[in-house]
Chains A and B, each alone.
Chain A
Amino acid sequence: MKSLTKVTIISNLEVAPGAYVLSFPRSFEFVPGQVIGIAMNPADKPRLYSIASGNKENVVRILYTVKPEGKLTPDLARLHAGDTIYVSEPFGGFICDEQKAVWVATGTGIAPFSSMFYSGLGKNKTLIQGNRFANGLYFRDDFEKEMGPRYVPSCTREQVAGVYHGRVLKYLSEKKDLDLSVKYYLCGSAEMVVDVRDLLIERGMPFENVVAEIFF
């Protein structure tokens, strides 16, 4: 792991039950889609988080959910403005250019796409976002405002007006006119990535056009 630097938290807000957005001052350059390692102490094994904020903003934000049995996230959720954590330099190659493309995210897998979005890469993208409940459609208002019909929110456990009811896989499998000439970027759990990738390949998409990041 890259070396760790101490940073002071600006805010750590619960944005949905068990989901938090933590921010600290930006002191490095990064490419949207990259990750950083985070630890409570320099000797701890860092966990990885995608940067969720834009690359021109003064702060770095990450979006995380608390794993109740986890080593880091329960402690992270207890932190307040003024507390400190250790972060690594950004790294990773899940990056996207300005070409037309489709982004597919579930859960906190939205983070790299929100970074791309807040960095101005969302103009010709379609975003399909999924989670169990609508309150887990993080940053939905901003996506809706900027992307309009190119933004497809979906949730599996409740029916909400304006939100597709079902898994992102189901949404994609029902779509008869999938654009197979563009790249698909997938981010989230292994299950979602593997299932959506299989579906796209089955529909005739060259596997080179499926770009995947898994939050293992």
Chain B
Amino acid sequence: MEEKREALFGKTLNQLETVVKELELPRFTAAQIADWLYKKDVTAIEEMTNLSKAAREKLTSRFEVGLSDPVKVQTSVDGTKKYLYRARNGKFIETAYMPERNRHTLCVSSQVGCKMGCLFCFTAKQGFQGNLSAGEILNQIRSLPERHQLTNIVYMGMGEPFDNMEGVMQSLEILTSDYGFGMSPRRITVSTIGIIPAMKVFLEESTCHLAVSLHSPFEEERRRLMPIEHVYSLTEVLEAIRSFPLGKQRRISFEYIVFKDLNHSPRHVKELARILNGIRCRINLLRFHPVPGTPLQAPDDATLGEFKTALENKGIVTTIRKSRGQDIYAACGLLSTKEQQVI
């Protein structure tokens, strides 16, 4: 089989400068390459027409642009599309495109599978199969047919972003830099289950929004849902967030999957109000959609509504995230698991 050449797509300007130095090309070539990679729709080095022929040949000897189109798409009646991409290790990852009237959100994956083992998650059942490079994360955006309509990016797909800091931070740099996609960090949210050391680095080095998966305010209960609680407790996650000056623009949100008869009682409301006191934040409620083999169940609409009202009565800004794409394999990890089993 032909050896894959290294991808240029996903390299930061600094890394491109190293590449051109190694190839003994003029330094300004790096900025030209970045421009072709991130601002124009080229798919091959030969299309970088303001580079000399010799430069293109040198680049082609070791590199390729490295984009890859989605291999499958499923479209829901509500317009949600689930794209399946092939990662460079041959495994599959999922990307969900969710169009709304004036907000078009893309949910990207950061790993193939995941190590975190959350009880309610289907991706967890794949185990960990590898980190995505910055290029593979950004390819989910760049190779999306609807890329020009996108308004928001959320890192909430497969994997725990803060278990792949290298790929995630590099992709954020390219997304938000002038030399890159030039996107506002206010349109990007990274979601974590609370890996504290990496979360602190993210808070310091990036200005993108942060979402933390909460799911229960009680340590004992959260522990049963999310093994990470044994290592980095929610109390310490909140302490770390509290101790960081967030400024006016930056948003912290808490993702809260509601499970039937488990985590929506008045006791939960009271405890959530207590632990979130003093943090400028909002809670996004998500209805749980049962995945195969889970012991957890979905709540009904009334329960979700009552829980939202109870939280709002405590002064917590609360939204209910619309369930999207229920008629397709929208629960993250379902589609790729199916595909992973086929290969």
Contacts and interface: CB of A to CB of B under 8 A. Distances in A.
B305 interface: no
Contacts of A191: 127-128
Contacts of B130: none
B233 A194 contact: no
Interface in B286-322: 293, 295-296
Given A197-B119, A214-B116, A35 B231 contact: yes
A162 interface: no
A57 interface: no
B108 interface: no
Interface stretch (A73-81, A136-144, A202-210): A202-210
A84 interface: no
B224 interface: yes
Interface residues of B, number: 26
Nearest to B197: A1
A189 interface: yes
Contact of B223 (A1, A93, A214): A93
B255 interface: no
A130 B124 CA distance: 21
B226 to A, nearest CB: 10
B223 A190 contact: no
Interface string B14-48: 00000000000000000000000000000000000
A212 B115 CA distance: 12
A92 interface: yes
A138 to B, nearest CB: 21
Contacts of B6: none
Interface residues of A, number: 27
A94 interface: yes
Given A93-B219, A194-B127, A207-B119, A212 B227 contact: yes
Interface in B118-152: 119, 124-125, 127-128
Contact of B117 (A1, A48, A190, A202): A190
Contacts of A190: 113-117, 124, 127-128
A210 B296 CA distance: 14
A45 B224 contact: no
B229 interface: yes
B230 interface: yes
Nearest to B292: A198
Contacts of B64: none
B127 A216 contact: no
A56 B224 CA distance: 29
B115 A214 contact: yes
A207 B120 CA distance: 11
Interface in B139-168: 160, 163
A189 B233 contact: no
Contact of A210 (B127, B196, B224, B229): B224
A5 B224 CA distance: 32
Given A45-B197, A207-B119, A216-B163, A194 B125 contact: yes
B116 A216 contact: yes
A207 B196 CA distance: 26
A77 to B, nearest CB: 23
B117 A193 contact: yes
A201 interface: yes
B295 A201 contact: yes
Interface in A170-216: 189-191, 193-194, 197-198, 201-202, 206-208, 210-214, 216
A213 B219 contact: no
A113 to B, nearest CB: 14
Contacts of A210: 224
Contact of A198 (B114, B115, B197, B293): B293
Interface string B205-249: 000000000000001000110011111010000000000000000
A92 B119 contact: no
Max chain B CB contacts within 10 Å: which of A93, A202, A216?
A216
Interface string A1-18: 100000000000000000
A214 B227 contact: yes
B193 to A, nearest CB: 10
B293 to A, nearest CB: 5
A35 B230 CA distance: 10
Nearest to A37: B197
**Of B124, B160, B228, which is in contact with the most chain A CB atoms at under 10 Å from its CB?**
B124
6 contacts: A92-B230, A189-B127, A194-B125, A201-B293, A212-B227, A214-B117
Given A190-B128, A201-B293, 4 more contacts: A91-B231, A94-B230, A197-B119, A210-B224
